[in-house]
Structure 1
Amino acid sequence: MTDNFWMDKYPPGISSEIHPETYRNIQSVLRVSCERFASKTAFSNLGRSLTYHELYELSGHFAAYLQKHTDLKPGDRIAIQLPNVIQYPIVVFGALRAGLVVVNTNPLYTAREMEQQFKDSGARGLICLANMAHRVQEVLPATDIRHVVITEIGDMLSMLKGFMVNAVVRHVKKLVPAYHLPHAVPFRKALSLGQGEILTETDSEPNELAILQYTGGTTGVPKGAMLSHRNIIANMLQCRALVGSELRDGCETAIAPLPLYHVYAFTLHCMVMVLIGAHNVLITNPRDLPAFIKDLRRHRFTCFVGLNTLFASLCHNQAFRLLDFSALRSTFAGGMALQLATAECWKEMTGCAISEGYGMTETSPVVSVNPFQRIQPGTIGIPVPSTLCKVIDEQGETLPVGMAGELCVKGPQVMLGYWQRPEATAQVLDADGWLKTGDIAVIQADGYMRIVDRKKDMILVSGFNVYPSELEDVLATLPGVMQCAAIGVPDEKSGEAIKLFVVPRPGTALTSEDVLQHMKDNLTAYKRPKYIEFRESLPISNVGKILRRELRDEELIKLRQRSKVVE
């Protein structure tokens, strides 16, 4: 397969190339968009709207606070641990304008997970929600973090409404455990302090690190994928180019239920949608479907970004089915495989087809997308412009069209490498810029691609990567566990669910409740098992390695047998 193979695979009017140098850095993207769309709404949440002018002004205040009231310097890492609230874009763009490197962090992490990421990244600053501050207090002494800013859900609302919302969250719902961080600065105070200062705008080099986005990579403990300003800008322009005229400048209202700390939502909502002057409706808790749907009723939304789990839940919700979808023109799916039944149900219900894509953290994240002009269900589309793909065999040789092999990607959106892990980087990224994805794919003659299997042992739960070795390492610390293994099993709701196999030590009375509580204490919710099976032994190789694949195969056989019984 030659590079020319891809030249004629794009629909009419879509170029096969983009020019990342169009913008020098993310700051310049923000500046241009905020000038161009100054009076238009950029983000809204909980009834509060933020215009592009206000976004630029407030992010400037926060940047000035970081510059003048902390000792953080350009290149320092700052962890942002927030859900989808209006503070997020203010903080993330403020940090970038101050020249800092953003470390996106899941606000639902346990103390152990937080400590691991903060220490590995070397973060010196942190912005978090008050709901998680008690965990920050626990891990702070073991990290390099010296500056903490704490915000509450209602901080960007009007004074009265904000007070009421924060009071309900604290005292009625009791979602803010007690904490003691005497040196932490309230978010509102940080903005006030920055407002009185003069910001020195930074002008980051295109290849400077912008985002440190943690992922498990191909195996094991989460690693920080280093995404430069050029990486992010390239992917922004690639996505914009491939969706063509479907996204109209200054006219879109995009629903944002996926967490912005996830690179998929970050690139789409904080980059692509900001580039075109869209209104991003931030959904703080999409699991609360009644509140979510109530939010949707307030907007004539034109764009919806989600993943299979969310689409499936909404398709079966009667209140959602009664919404007005007449303005909906585009729906994007990523993060996990889109099931055909879900895609068909969504199109029938809304009248809008879903464009499925594929990506990974290491590619900022989008690799391929189904162009709206030519959606091909069951595929991940064609590579975004300026991107080459190939599949290789076990020896690294390129395979012809139609043959399954490991998918490799080359393009300006491919990461710089893994943070402080040159050996791990060398395992997936070669000298010519080809990234091994670890996924098995087929490239069709028409350029569309299909993912047929995963080379990794990774488990994909509702779009989130879960790595068996991390689960096994945690479980192994539970007294009474002799051997254990974690695998993913098919699940209608989340795509995959986690199943643990446990071999207890002789003479111990280990129970499922013991295992569940231990995992709950040490892992965030999506990493916890749905099934637990106790065994006397596990299948092992001749060198003593537990064979997870055999366990998965056993589960698939059981599933087929159950299906036959039902038939």
Structure 2
Amino acid sequence: MTDNINKETTDNNAGTSDKGNASEYIYQDNAFPTMPTIASDSPWLSAYERYSIDATIEMPEDSTSLLDVFERNFNRYGQKTAYICMGASISFKQLDLYSRQIASYLQSLGLVKGDKVGVMMPNLLQYPIIALGVIRAGMILVNVNPLYTSRELSHQLHDSGAKALFIVENFAKTYQDAEDKGQIEHVVVCKIGDMLGTVKGVVVNLVARHIKKMIPPYRIPNSVSFKEALSAVSASHYERPELNLSDVALLQYTGGTTGVAKGAMLSHGNLVANMLQVNALMNSAFEDDIDSRDVILTALPLYHVFSFMVCGICSMYQGYTGLLIPNPRDLDGLIKEMGKYKPSFIPAVNTLFNGLVHKDSFADLDFSNLKASIGGGMSVLPSVAKEWHKITGLPIVEGYGLSETSPIVAFNPMTIAEFTGKIGIPAPSTDVVLIDEEENVVALGDRGEICVKGPQVMIGYQNRPKETTESFTASGYLKTGDIGIMDEKGFIKIVDRKKDMILVSGFNVYPNEIEEAMSEHPAVVECGAIGVPNDERGEEPKVFVVKKGDVTEKELLEYGKKQLTGYKRPRHIQFVDELPKSNVGKILRKELRKMEGLE
């Protein structure tokens, strides 16, 4: 299908511009995506044959970019619905027009190719319009978590060097209160109801401001509204920039769960490669059953790299309809939308899967359209996967990735019959090795740090050439910081993050293993494990538990003794009302350590 990407343009996109370039952001000598050499005895190659997955992808010519992907989609799908949100929808043809209008607006401001533009909003119809507009203008999209504090936003604005920011007014005060606004020159303020139609939009905005009190008072001098930006310049003024696979398209900030958030520079080539890798997986299972009327649930925020790729880029490539959910924490509202639109694909994280299976109304849904449930972002617990399979009739298919890899590194075949508890096999044209502390490759079945080489691996970290260098092995593999085990068939199991390891009397203890074991107790809703200091053993495990019922600390400690060997079992239990989590539901052990006074 890669031939369809190459230079499929339309007359209304004619015109070129060579304003600026992104070369100053490139650290690697060869910025074009490199295809690694995969050893013929790599254990996962047999799995490709068994599951009919292409072992390699064919990259398009170097002068290709995401613009060619977008234009292919607009031409191919035209009147089909691209996105639905809160009952309103836009077609691919409208997405084409609106995104060119935003691109024209940005170019009219004097911004040039390679300039950064921040987008700080949840899943609203404005997001894909703006994101595509930024990239179509030849600029670099900077995804910003709208739940950031002013301090966190200051860091990202300063580090990214963004010159413009699109922000939903609900979070405008966060920007107003940010002490360091970096190089921001232009601010566009969006309202929730901007794309919902005249009557409904007005009602939604009034309710948000005056009834639900969702919008703190703010003042941003010289800002413009989204509607003003959208209508300011005709789409006919759009100048299509000259871009290629080496140009940076996206600045994706890491979650910051292991330190200061860093901006991973992802090129057009990185994102196109990962799109084709996911496409190879989808084709292996659904090539004869691909239906552009399929709906993909987009409850995970599009500013997160997992959702950006799977629910954004890949969904559009296949012509699916993205069902945008602005607030996935409203499970009742989410289930209502699922009942109305019957999604074919449900990408989610363990927290969302877990929340849904504990809602009685979820089990009443019609799952006849469901083709796949895709887990990512964090480990899916076996107990959650078992309940999900029981209710929906399909297993959760787990994958693995990170911001630095666009993000997919590995995945389970879509046709697996049961949840594997593993992250699967390396994506096509991806080489994965597991290494020890001295960067020696460990034997199959042994623990090691997962390291990746492939066309989806980032160019480097924004403003951090030293950290970029330190993130790669001497042989050019990206060090993920995750500890895993690869079996004789090439399937990988995540053991844990390197930093989260607990050292008990010289033995390595992995929090994931403790959490999985303790979550099997029927009174444990969810839990998070960390190591706490102990004079005798160095560290010992402590578990923070969200419970249901009247279970006691003593009961859970006794349960841990039955589930885990001596040095692994919890020594302390603390009940909490909720666990600290990232924007996509990942339990933040760093915050648990802070609660314990360890950081």
Q: TM-score higher than 0.5 here? A: yes
Counterpart for residue 58 of structure 2: 19
Matched residue SS, 1:439: strand
Matched residue SS, 2:297: strand
Counterpart for residue 102 of structure 2: 62
Return the match for 2:448 from 405, 415, 426.
405
Return the match for 1:266 from 289, 294, 308.
308
User: How far off is 1:494 after superposition?
Assistant: 8.6
Contact 2:97-2:235 within 8 A present in 1 as well? no
Counterpart for residue 45 of structure 2: 7
**1:552 to 1:306, Cα distance in 2 relative to 1, 3 A:** farther
- Which residues in structure 2 correspond to 1:360-375 (within 5 Å)? 360-374=402-416
**Matched residue type, 2:369:** A
Matched residue SS, 1:9: helix
User: How far off is 1:329 after superposition?
Assistant: 1.0
* 1:122-180 deviation digits (Å, cap 9, x = unpaired): 11110000011112112266421010000011000111110010000001111111111
1:132 aligns with 2:174: no
Counterpart for residue 275 of structure 2: 236
User: How far off is 1:39 after superposition?
Assistant: 1.2
**Matched residue type, 2:333:** A
% same residue: 39
Counterpart for residue 162 of structure 1: 201
- Within 2, Cα distance between the matches of 1:301 and 1:216? 28
**Matched residue type, 1:269:** C
Matched residue SS, 1:397: coil
1:357 aligns with 2:399: yes
* 1:517-553 deviation digits (Å, cap 9, x = unpaired): xxxxxxxxxxxxxxxxxxxxx679xxxxxx9x95563
**1:314 to 1:40, Cα distance in 2 relative to 1, 3 A:** same
- Larger displacement relative to structure 2 (254-263 or 237-246): 237-246
- Larger displacement relative to structure 2 (490-499 or 329-338): 490-499
User: How far off is 1:395 after superposition?
Assistant: 1.0
- Within 1, Cα distance between the matches of 2:525 and 2:301? 16
**1:57 to 1:279, Cα distance in 2 relative to 1, 3 A:** same
Contact 1:257-1:285 within 8 A present in 2 as well? yes
**1:194 to 1:433, Cα distance in 2 relative to 1, 3 A:** farther
- Larger displacement relative to structure 2 (381-390 or 296-305): 296-305
Contact 1:218-1:438 within 8 A present in 2 as well? no
Return the match for 1:108 from 147, 166, 170.
147
**1:561 to 1:496, Cα distance in 2 relative to 1, 3 A:** closer
- Larger displacement relative to structure 2 (167-176 or 423-432): 423-432
Counterpart for residue 51 of structure 1: 91
**Matched residue type, 1:292:** L
Counterpart for residue 511 of structure 1: none
Counterpart for residue 34 of structure 1: 74
Matched residue SS, 1:298: helix
User: How far off is 1:74 after superposition?
Assistant: 0.9
Counterpart for residue 246 of structure 1: 286
- Within 1, Cα distance between the matches of 2:147 and 2:470? 30
- Within 2, Cα distance between the matches of 1:416 and 1:458? 29
- Within 2, Cα distance between the matches of 1:458 and 1:283? 35
Return the match for 2:472 from 423, 429, 439.
429
Matched residue SS, 1:207: coil
* 1:299-333 deviation digits (Å, cap 9, x = unpaired): 13211111111111111111111111111111100
Return the match for 2:358 from 316, 320, 325.
316
**Matched residue type, 1:157:** L
- Within 2, Cα distance between the matches of 1:435 and 1:164? 49
Counterpart for residue 10 of structure 2: none
**Matched residue type, 1:438:** G
Contact 1:82-1:129 within 8 A present in 2 as well? yes
**1:561 to 1:39, Cα distance in 2 relative to 1, 3 A:** same
- Within 1, Cα distance between the matches of 2:125 and 2:151? 27
- Within 2, Cα distance between the matches of 1:286 and 1:325? 19
Return the match for 1:339 from 381, 399, 414.
381
Matched residue SS, 2:361: helix
Return the match for 1:386 from 400, 412, 429.
429
- Within 1, Cα distance between the matches of 2:408 and 2:235? 39
- Within 1, Cα distance between the matches of 2:253 and 2:525? 21
Matched residue SS, 2:541: helix
RMSD over aligned CA atoms reads 2.8
Counterpart for residue 556 of structure 2: 562
- Within 2, Cα distance between the matches of 1:332 and 1:494? 21
- Within 2, Cα distance between the matches of 1:410 and 1:495? 34
User: How far off is 1:203 after superposition?
Assistant: 2.9
**1:458 to 1:139, Cα distance in 2 relative to 1, 3 A:** farther
Gapped regions of structure 1 (runs ≥ 5)? 460-486, 502-537, 541-546
User: How far off is 1:13 after superposition?
Assistant: 2.9
Counterpart for residue 456 of structure 1: 499
- Within 1, Cα distance between the matches of 2:257 and 2:477? 15
Return the match for 1:210 from 249, 255, 274.
249
Counterpart for residue 320 of structure 2: 278
**1:419 to 1:219, Cα distance in 2 relative to 1, 3 A:** same
**Matched residue type, 2:47:** K
User: How far off is 1:289 after superposition?
Assistant: 1.3
Matched residue SS, 1:113: helix
Gapped regions of structure 2 (runs ≥ 5)? 1-37, 503-510, 545-551, 563-599
Counterpart for residue 541 of structure 2: 553
**1:130 to 1:365, Cα distance in 2 relative to 1, 3 A:** same
Matched residue SS, 1:20: coil
Contact 2:500-2:530 within 8 A present in 1 as well? no
- Within 1, Cα distance between the matches of 2:464 and 2:483? 24
**Matched residue type, 2:345:** C
**Matched residue type, 2:54:** S
Contact 2:167-2:188 within 8 A present in 1 as well? yes
User: How far off is 1:242 after superposition?
Assistant: 1.5
**1:495 to 1:441, Cα distance in 2 relative to 1, 3 A:** farther
- Within 2, Cα distance between the matches of 1:497 and 1:208? 40
Contact 1:65-1:197 within 8 A present in 2 as well? no
- Which residues in structure 2 correspond to 1:469-548 (within 5 Å)? 490=515, 497=528
User: How far off is 1:20 after superposition?
Assistant: 2.6
- Larger displacement relative to structure 2 (101-110 or 200-209): 200-209
- Within 2, Cα distance between the matches of 1:496 and 1:352? 25
**Matched residue type, 1:404:** R
**1:199 to 1:453, Cα distance in 2 relative to 1, 3 A:** same
Counterpart for residue 31 of structure 2: none
1:175 aligns with 2:175: no
Contact 1:309-1:494 within 8 A present in 2 as well? no
**1:370 to 1:109, Cα distance in 2 relative to 1, 3 A:** same
- Within 1, Cα distance between the matches of 2:420 and 2:433? 21
**1:118 to 1:562, Cα distance in 2 relative to 1, 3 A:** same
Contact 2:529-2:541 within 8 A present in 1 as well? no
Contact 1:218-1:456 within 8 A present in 2 as well? no
- Within 1, Cα distance between the matches of 2:201 and 2:539? 51
Contact 1:211-1:228 within 8 A present in 2 as well? yes
* 1:196-236 deviation digits (Å, cap 9, x = unpaired): 65100123220111111111579421111111111111111
Contact 2:161-2:183 within 8 A present in 1 as well? yes
* 1:223-277 deviation digits (Å, cap 9, x = unpaired): 1111111111111110110232336151321111001000000000111111000
* 1:63-88 deviation digits (Å, cap 9, x = unpaired): 111111x1211101111101000100
Counterpart for residue 578 of structure 2: none
Contact 1:40-1:52 within 8 A present in 2 as well? yes
User: How far off is 1:500 after superposition?
Assistant: 11
